Amino acid sequence: MCKEIERKLNQKKIAYDPNVLAKACDFAGKAHEGQKRATGDPYIAHPLAVAEILADMGMEFHTIIAALLHDTVEDTSISLDEIEKQFGKDIRSLVNGVTKLSEIEFSRQYQLESLTERQEMEVENFRKFFLAIAEDLRVVLIKLADRLHNLETLGAKSPASQKRVAQETLEIYVPLADRLGIGQLKVDLEDLAFRYFMPDEYQKVRLLVSEKIDDRKKNVNILQKSIPRLLTKNQIKVIKIEGRAKHFYSIYKKLKKSDGDIDKIYDLMAIRIIVPEESDCYKVLGVIHQQYKPLIYRIKDYIAVPKPNGYKSLHTTVFGLDGRITEIQIRTPKMHDEAEMGIAAHWHYNQSKSKIFSVFTRSSYAPKNDLEWVKQLAEAQKGFNDKELIENLKIDFFHNRIFIFSPKGNIFNLPEGATPIDFAYLVHTEIGNHYVGAKVNGKIVNLNYKLENRDIVEILTSPKAKPSRDWLNFVKTSGASQNIRSWFRKESREDNLKSGEETLVSKLKAVGLTLSDIDERILSFFNVKNTDDLFVLIGEGQITSRQVTNRILDPGTEKQKRPSKTKRTELVIKGTEGMPYRLAKCCQPCYGDKITGYVTQGQGITVHRTNCANIIRNNPNKLTEVSWQSGSAIYQIPILVKAKNRIGLLKDITYLLTDKKINIGSIKSKHEGDMTVIEMLIEIEKMVLLPIVINNLLGIKDVYEVKRLR
């Protein structure tokens, strides 16, 4: 059953234990016995195919074994403990990692009932995804191989499933394979997904290519015969010269940029020349240019300046026979293997160079530099709300990358659309914090200037300069956004500390007290370590100076209980007796609203407002009558506040609500230019109080709109 895998392991010179391989094949075969794929094939055909793909990539033996077993825990009665008992901790860890990744289906989130839930699911999926990458890259490589074979058999699925899987592949897995530098896997995933996600466009591209490819092939075939003679004449050894056809999805993307004109795509067919040494690459380039006139703007040196995924090669486009334009790529065997296998080549070279290799030695980690971007993405998860996290990860990870040079020739890579400020923070946090301007290719540019590939950027700084909140409107990288926010958090703390101290000193003085009257007992009551932290809480509006002074004057008063959220009476809804239920996030029903229930099998009842758009669209047979238990709960009202951004705004709002004895269940704010938008959940005992609260909030300086959400 594993003969083909064994043949590939031998071919790639991968060290392995034939007994362990036979045991894993037998174990997986018995675990999946009786199971069928949608194609009608025995299920074991899938893990065998995944293992073969990874063997072709030159992956180490533990990865191959984990590929054979990767579906056993998810789809059979086999436990992780059994995997560990039979194959060890490392295999268990890999199988567990793949099982967790298999639970992440990015595109299925769109079936959820509300935008909020979709965002929460997407954020959680991205977090799991990047944590898996950072923990052990082999897990993600198994998942990529798994996805490739699933695409190869996708025709057996329904059209809806085909489109969902294809879209997810193009949006998530293709950029991942590209970032890991696994060129062959990337183009295979792209073309298979393209076929199912955009079938009409796929057929159009296929037809266009078929009309042009024969003519291009003739030109390439002639060059393939003439170039070896040319290189031999110049005493340059050549390992291989081959023709390379461009893949359909890549052609589709280029057609979009060239207004659908396929004659503008010069690399529809290209020539690849493989030579022994790096120096030979440049010799070949010189000889080629002596014989064939190059298009100067299409000469690319990815050896001196590799792509962010590590890709190395020389590219040139020349006028060949009869003036026909042809692209030529020049690289060494090592460059070629790394272009095809990317990060997977790490394991291949480790094993091929080692005379003794133990199959039970953990060799899972790629070179540190190759995974530095993963660590940066993991770090980028801190300090962002959910929506910001999604957008920043998508920009940092999935966007095309550009190369930027410092005046000293150091190379940095950034996502397309990045600005000089993104570059400044990438170089060093303090350079970003003290940014005053930038020169790009010797010329002063605007703050929001979009950098282009190979720009030379000089950052201008001043010790007195500081970040602006407006920068957040146009910076592209999570690193820049995070550093700008971090700076303002630090500055805001200082402002709040100063404001809180002044407010408290004034209040204490009015009742004959001083700061020396604040002892450990008071600090402990407010759960702070020192008076500075107490000042910050007052400045932020989380507590009031009156609460502090009252606590000092009368520590036993019933009026001054430890600050906390209002104690809620348990919410009771008629019609849900004996069943689990939850309030819908899409319409956020409050006590007193007209409501109805939606029954979801296995999840109980979701309570919506009767006029909720989601309920109106849903199956009426799943609706059930529900109503509020009279007097059973306080009213929880989501409200929106819009105001001009200024220091102390949030403090004024929270101070007013605290003074009116209105609890704030949750609060979040964001800046839009010089405006602040605040969403909060307030808790009141009577609905008649809501208009009064809104009117009071409108009386706060710089507040121009207050309304109930939904």
pLDDT in tens, 473-531: 788 887 888 788 778 777 777 888 888 888 899 888 887 788 888 988 888 888 788 99
Catalytic residue, candidates 4, 33, 41, 74: 74
What is the full DSSP assignment across 549-588?
A: HHHHH-TT-TT-PPP-PPPPPPP-EET-TTS-EEE-TTT-
Q: Say whether 74 is catalytic.
A: yes
Parse the chain into domains and list their residue ranges: 3-197, 200-331, 486-553, 573-628, 635-708
Rounded-to-integer distance, Cα 246 and Cα 266, Å: 10
**Both tokens assigned to 256:** 């979009």
Rounded-to-integer distance, Cα 574 and Cα 588, Å: 18
Q: Is the pLDDT of residue 236 over 70?
A: yes
Q: How confident is the model at residue 358 (pLDDT cuts 50, 70, 90)?
A: very low
81: enclosing H helix or E strand:
helix 80-87
pLDDT digits (tens, 9 = 90+) for 321-332: 777 888 999 999
Question: Is residue 400 within 8 Å of 502, Cβ to Cβ?
Answer: no
Segment 76-81 shows an average pLDDT of 90
CATH architecture label of 200-331: 2-Layer Sandwich (3.30)
Comparing 681 with 380, the larger pLDDT belongs to 681
**Both tokens assigned to 272:** 């690849």
pLDDT digits (tens, 9 = 90+) for 518-531: 988 888 888 788 99
Segment 353-364 shows an average pLDDT of 37
**Both tokens assigned to 434:** 């003290």
Q: Is 157 exposed, middle or buried (0-12, 13-18, 19+ CB in 10 A)?
A: middle
Where would I find the H helices in 88-114?
89-102
Rounded-to-integer distance, Cα 609 and Cα 525, Å: 40
pLDDT of residue 54: 93
Superfamily of domain covering 635-708: ACT domain (3.30.70.260)
pTM above 0.75, yes or no: no
Q: Which CATH number fits domain 3-197: 3.40.630.30, 1.10.3210.10, 3.10.180.10, 3.40.50.300?
A: 1.10.3210.10
Q: Say whether 75 is catalytic.
A: yes
**Both tokens assigned to 524:** 């402990």
